[in-house]
Amino acid sequence: MEKLYIIIFVLLIGMVWTGSARAKTTITSDKDNVNQLIVHVDKGKEKIAPEIYGHFAEHLGRCVYEGFWVGETSDIPNVRGIRKDVVDALKKIQVPVLRWPGGCFADDYHWKDGIGPRDERSKKINNWWGSMIDANQFGTHEFMDLCEQLGCEAYIAGNVGSGTVEEMRDWVEYMTSDSGSDMANLRRKNGRDKPWKIPYFGIGNENWGCGGNMTPEYYADIYKRFQTYVRNYSGNEIVKVACGPNGADLHWMDIVMQKAVWQMNAITVHYYVRGSGDWTNKGSATQFGEKEWFALMKNTLGIDDVIAKDIKIMDKYDPNKRVALFVDEWGTWWDSEPGGTALYQQNTMRDAVSAGIFLNVFNSHCDRVKMTNIAQINNVLQAMILTKGKDMIVTPTYHVFEMFKVHQGATLLPTDISCPAYKYDKENVPSMIVSASKNSSGTVHISLCNLDPNNDAKLNCKLEGLKPSKVTGRVLTAETMNAHNTFENPDTIKPTTLKGITIKDNIITVTIPSKSVVVLAVQP
């Protein structure tokens, strides 16, 4: 009966999709397309962890090799073999954390293959991604060098599927111990005197699938065994990350939390989205119509419900919120581009709006969600950067991350938005998704996504507890849904100044273009 009452209540007030308790979204029947937003500037409490804007690099296609690693003898400008243009571009979006070496690759990766003189390293088949030979030129030392060049934290995914407890134990000791042990001395022999700080270590990856096809009961026991030997050395403190569910697999989340909650510091969920295709025919990244656009918007909005249900389970076993939720793989997934390498796809305005929705939802759940990692950083899936030999371009999704970086470390502000529906065929979703934050200097940032590809939207924004002195805005949009950047035209989509903003008392009025991502900066 309780569920019936909830359904009736939802129908009565016209809310077909609701964000978290901190970001309420209501669909109205307003015919003049006016969006009413209230930002509660005086009620913020939770911090948005910078790691929510994290990234993921797997040994897959050209993500690592050519994306990052070109080798010290390459004519592409590099620093110790790591290409300089990619690092410089990524530093502009303030990458807080980078997950490596996978992905499915992680549970086939044996770390000792990737240390020592490069000409002596093992050549192994990449069994998951094209059966290509990985010569292990990019290993632990190269990855940690990359993190230092980016100024980001390292998130290591350990091998549970095909690895041993001893192997994982030794890797942690090799990286983090300042002792005189054999592992620490082996690291010194390979050129690194002082240990690295490794704040995050994943105990396996997708162990319900490519990480061993385990049941949750079996994985929970294996997890507890492996994590026992992931030790803290020399002042390093590791956040131990358990493998959580695939999307909405609540049974997996429930069992692993129930059996292993006291041995974990975080648990993951993976959530990929596409248009109206299936996993064998995911659809083109660039050739699509409004049917596929709408399907992606609807599917992306589903992340809010998945997170809310995962948090409900986590609250049952961890009411004090000691365990964090990491969405450490997420993003759009299309068919690979014709002639491209494994999982190489283009990136359009559709992907950018989807990314904005994801990030707004993650912000709204920042009391539990402490890290997310978009898949992937270069040349694979929803990439920030595409490379072709010496050339490099950034994608629309890169620009969303650059615009949203203002939320990193800021205080989440509760919001209430009433907006018309975006309708397609017989379905509808809210036309606007929002989150807001206040930084340490008092500046309020409001990030908005207009999901409607056809209609601009007038927005009236009321700031509770703040009378603004100045408001500026940036907008990312395009003339067509499938617009994208190419090597011939790299700046087809890039942020521009949002014009026409007015202020009266504590009310901001602005028009949000169709199919756009907007960030407003409000000065006190």
Task: Please give, one letter per residue, the 3-state secondary structure of 340-385.
Answer: CCCCCCCCEHHHHHHHHHHHHHHHHCCCCEEEEEEECCECCCCCCE
CA distance linking residue 288 with residue 313, whole number of Å: 37
Tallying the residues shown for the chain, one arrives at 524
Contact assessment for residue 48 and residue 96, using Cβ atoms and an 8 Å cutoff:
no
Answer yes or no: 66 catalytic.
Answer: no
Here the tokens at position 425 are 């065929």
Cα torsion through 438, 439, 444, 447, rounded to 10: -80
DSSP state at residue 480 = S
How far lies 42's CA from each of 38, 165, 376, 412, 488, in Å? 11, 49, 36, 11, 47
DSSP state at residue 165 = H
Q: Burial level of 46, CB count in 10 A (0-12/13-18/19+)?
A: middle
* Assigned superfamily of 14-46+412-523: Golgi alpha-mannosidase II (2.60.40.1180)
Answer yes or no: 206 catalytic.
Answer: yes
CA distance linking residue 274 with residue 284, whole number of Å: 10
How many Cβ atoms sit within 10 Å of the Cβ of residue 242?
A: 27
End-to-end CA distance of the chain: 48
Q: Annotated catalytic residue: which of 51, 153, 329, 402?
A: 329
- The set of residues, in sequence order, having a beta carbon less than 8 Å from that of 304 and lying 6+ positions away, is 17, 18, 19, 20, 361, 364, 365
The DSSP bridge pattern shows strands 457-464 and 34-40 to be: parallel
Is the dihedral angle over the CA atoms 21, 454, 334, 54 positive or is it negative? negative
Beta strand ranges found along 159-290 (DSSP E): 200-203, 239-242, 266-273
CA distance linking residue 285 with residue 510, whole number of Å: 31
For the domain covering 50-409, report its CATH number: 3.20.20.80
How far lies 270's CA from each of 16, 56, 144, 248, 375, in Å? 24, 12, 25, 9, 10
Q: Annotated catalytic residue: which of 58, 153, 206, 292?
A: 206
Contact assessment for residue 376 and residue 62, using Cβ atoms and an 8 Å cutoff:
no
Furthest-apart CA atoms within the chain: distance in Å: 72
Position 9 scores a pLDDT of: 31
DSSP state at residue 6 = H
φ/ψ (deg, to 5) at 403: -70, -40
Q: Where are the domains of the chain?
A: 14-46+412-523, 50-409
Here the tokens at position 501 are 């903003």
Query: Three-state SS for 112?
Result: helix
- C-alpha 396: how far from chain center: 15
Position 13 scores a pLDDT of: 32
How far lies 227's CA from each of 86, 264, 359, in Å? 34, 8, 30
CA distance linking residue 365 with residue 19, whole number of Å: 9
- C-alpha 130: how far from chain center: 25
Here the tokens at position 383 are 């990439």
CA distance linking residue 352 with residue 336, whole number of Å: 18
Please give the radius of gyration of the chain, using alpha carbons only, rounded to the nearest integer.
23
User: Which tens digits make up the pLDDT trace of 430-451?
Assistant: 999 999 999 999 999 999 999 9
User: Which tens digits make up the pLDDT trace of 200-248?
Assistant: 999 999 999 999 999 999 999 999 999 999 999 999 999 999 999 999 9
Q: Block means of pLDDT (10 residues each) for the chain, length 524 residues? A: 35 37 64 84 96 98 97 97 98 98 96 97 90 93 98 98 98 98 98 98 97 98 98 98 97 98 98 88 95 97 97 98 98 90 94 98 98 97 97 98 98 96 94 97 98 96 94 98 97 97 95 98 96
pTM assigned to the model: 0.94
- The set of residues, in sequence order, having a beta carbon less than 8 Å from that of 13 and lying 6+ positions away, is 26
Would 14-46+412-523 and 50-409 be classified into the same CATH topology? no
Q: Burial level of 513, CB count in 10 A (0-12/13-18/19+)?
A: middle
Task: List, in sequence order, the alpha helices (H) in 395-515.
Answer: 396-404
Position 433 scores a pLDDT of: 97
Position 7 scores a pLDDT of: 34
Query: Three-state SS for 319?
Result: coil
Best CA proximity match to 413, nearest among 44, 22, 36: 44
